[in-house]
Amino acid sequence: MTEVEKHWYVVRAISGKEKKAKEYLEMEVSRLKLSDYVGQILIPTEKVFQIRKGKKISKEKTFLPGYVLVQAALVGEVPHVIRSVPHVMGFLGNEKGGDPSPMRITEVNRILGKVDELLESEEEMRIPFVVGESVKVIDGPFNNFSGVIDEINEEKKKLKVMVKIFGRKNLLELSYMQVEKEV
């Protein structure tokens, strides 16, 4: 059998139910043996780092909430099957109730590139701080103290922060995850 040309489509799902929609889509595709017509089903996610109880944890967060990307050839009953899956509200298209519009290759590559980039740079974090900026210590023995960034070490992901403790200025070396910007 010849390979069917598939395009990427954006499927609207109930926000917060993207994973369930993806599971149902995958089950329907395998149950109806539509794997020749439906390729990948993706939920674009990004890793977010937080500090909980003094520990750094990473959490996956969807960066396109309410949307699932589906690579499919919309022939025969495929569009109907995708639309009828629980938690799916329909395709994203140019006009309401009209035919689904495939995504441009540049958009697909940008989103897939972002997904790959996020997988590769799991521990990579942007430098969210600037020298001279006020920060508040949120972890460690100097919790709740405020100070000003004196120096930034990108390789070690450390900051040197000038903190006033008991009326005297002290230079503390803290990790990025131990401070937050003051508002």
What are the residue ranges spanned by the domains of the chain? 7-120, 134-181
Choice among 26-35, 57-66, 162-171 with the minimum mean pLDDT: 57-66
- As a whole number of Å, the end-to-end CA separation of the chain is 61
Residue 33, pLDDT > 80, answer yes
> DSSP characters for 33-53?
T-TTTEEEEE--EEEEEEEET
Residue 119, pLDDT > 70, answer no
What percentage of the chain exceeds 90 in pLDDT? 44
Query: What's the pLDDT score for residue 88?
Result: 93
What is the spatial distance between Cα 123 and Cα 98, in angstroms, rounded to a whole number?
42
What percentage of the chain exceeds 70 in pLDDT? 89
pLDDT in tens, 2-22: 678 899 999 999 989 999 999
What is the spatial distance between Cα 87 and Cα 34, in angstroms, rounded to a whole number?
20
The single-letter code of the amino acid at 86 is: P
CATH topology of domain 134-181: SH3 type barrels. (2.30.30)
Say whether 134-181 and 7-120 share the same fold. Answer: no
**Stronger pLDDT, 174 or 63, i.e. the higher one:** 174
Query: What's the pLDDT score for residue 63?
Result: 80
Query: What's the pLDDT score for residue 20?
Result: 95
What is the spatial distance between Cα 156 and Cα 66, in angstroms, rounded to a whole number?
37
Q: How many CB atoms within 10 Å of residue 99?
A: 11
The structure's pTM equals 0.60
Residue 131, pLDDT > 70, answer yes
Query: What's the pLDDT score for residue 117?
Result: 64
Query: What's the pLDDT score for residue 127?
Result: 63
Query: What's the pLDDT score for residue 173?
Result: 93
pLDDT in tens, 55-89: 777 778 888 899 999 999 999 899 999 999 999 99
Residue 136, pLDDT > 80, answer yes
CATH of the domain spanning 7-120: 3.30.70.940
Residue 124, pLDDT > 70, answer no
